[in-house]
C-alpha cells in the first residue's frame, strides 16, 4: 500500500468508519435457538436482520463492484446505513441494495452471486435474486445462470461456511477463472460457459474462513471504469434513486 501511495499520485488510501459495536448495534436474542428455519427465511424475505441502523456496518465481501455500479447485499453483516455511506463517499457510483430471500443466514455475497465476465453471472439456485431486482440486469442483456451443484454434501471439518463455497472462485480476467480443485461440477460448468479454468487446491483452508475469493483482494486495477449498465430502468435496488432520475 505504501508503494502504491508513493508511486501513484491518484491513489487514495482510506478506511471505512469503525463501528462501535454496542448493544444498540444488534437486535437482542435474534439468534434464539427456538426460532425455526422457516421463521428465519421469513425474516430474510422481510429484510429483518440482526444488525440495526444506528451506525454503518459492513463487510467487504458483501460488496460487489462492476464498473460504475456497486451491488451490496443487505444481510446479517451489512446494513442500509453502510450503503448510504458508500453512496456519499462514492457519489459517481450507483449503489444498489440486493438481497436473497432463500438464504436464512445471508453473510457475504461471493457464494451467492458471482460475475464471471461482463454480461454473465452465476447465481446460487437456492438463493435466487428476486425478480424485481433483476430488472437492471435484464435491461442491459446480462445473463444470470444457476450455478452448478457443489461436489460435496458437507463442508470440511471445523468449517462454518456452506458447501456453496464451490461458487467462491477468483476471476482473473473475462476468460480466466480459478476454481477449487475438488469442485469438478463447477469447473465443468465454467468450461461450458467459455472460461479457461485453473484448478487450485484450497479445500483444506476452508476452516480458516472461506474460499478463493475470500482470501484475495485486488487493490490496483488497470484500465478505465466501464459502465456495464447504461440502460436505466425503474430500479427498486438503488439506495438513492433521486440521484439518478
Active site residues: 59, 108, 214
Residues 80 and 60: their CA atoms lie apart, in Å, by 14
CB-based contacts of 63: which residues, under 8 Å, 6+ apart?
70, 71, 72, 73, 78, 86, 109
Distances (CA, A) of 72 to 20, 151, 159: 21, 28, 25
Greatest CA separation for the chain = 56
Question: Residue 144's beta-bridge partner residues?
Answer: 121
Which candidate, 210, 236, 239, 221, places its Cα nearest to that of 61?
Answer: 210
Beta strand segments in the chain, E: 63-66, 69-73, 94-98, 113-117, 120-123, 143-146, 170-173, 176-180, 196-200
C-alpha to C-alpha distance for 209 and 161, rounded to whole angstroms = 7
**How far, in Å, CA of 134 to CA of 197, rounded?**
27
Query: Of 112, 95, 110, 94, which is closest to residue 44 (Cα–Cα)?
Result: 112
Amino acid at each position: 500500500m505504501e508503494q502504491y501511495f508513493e508511486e501513484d499520485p491518484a491513489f487514495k488510501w482510506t478506511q471505512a468508519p469503525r463501528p462501535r459495536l454496542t448493544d444498540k448495534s444488534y437486535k437482542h436474542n435474534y439468534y434464539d435457538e427456538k426460532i425455526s428455519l422457516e421463521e428465519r427465511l421469513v425474516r430474510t424475505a422481510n429484510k429483518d436482520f440482526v444488525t440495526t441502523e444506528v451506525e454503518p456496518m459492513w463487510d467487504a465481501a458483501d460488496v460487489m463492484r462492476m464498473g460504475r455500479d456497486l451491488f451490496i447485499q443487505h444481510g446479517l453483516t451489512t446494513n442500509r446505513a453502510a450503503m448510504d455511506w458508500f453512496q456519499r463517499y462514492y457519489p459517481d457510483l450507483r449503489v444498489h441494495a440486493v438481497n436473497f430471500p432463500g438464504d436464512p443466514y445471508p453473510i457475504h455475497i461471493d457464494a451467492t452471486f458471482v460475475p464471471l465476465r461482463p454480461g454473465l453471472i452465476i447465481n446460487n439456485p437456492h438463493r435466487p435474486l428476486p425478480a424485481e431486482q433483476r430488472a437492471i440486469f435484464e435491461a442491459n442483456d446480462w445473463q444470470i445462470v444457476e450455478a452448478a451443484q457443489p461436489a460435496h454434501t458437507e463442508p470440511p471439518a471445523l468449517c462454518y461456511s456452506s458447501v456453496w463455497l464451490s461458487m467462491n472462485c477468483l476471476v482473473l480476467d473475462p476468460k480466466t477463472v480459478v476454481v477449487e480443485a475438488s469442485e469438478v461440477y463447477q469447473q465443468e460448468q465454467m468450461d461450458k460457459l467459455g472460461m479457461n479454468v485453473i484448478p487450485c487446491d484450497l479445500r483444506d483452508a476452508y476452516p480458516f474462513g472461506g474460499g478463493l475469493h475470500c482470501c484475495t483482494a485486488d487493490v490496483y486495477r488497470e484500465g478505465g471504469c466501464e459502465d456495464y449498465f447504461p440502460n436505466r430502468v425503474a430500479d427498486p435496488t438503488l439506495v438513492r434513486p433521486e440521484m439518478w432520475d
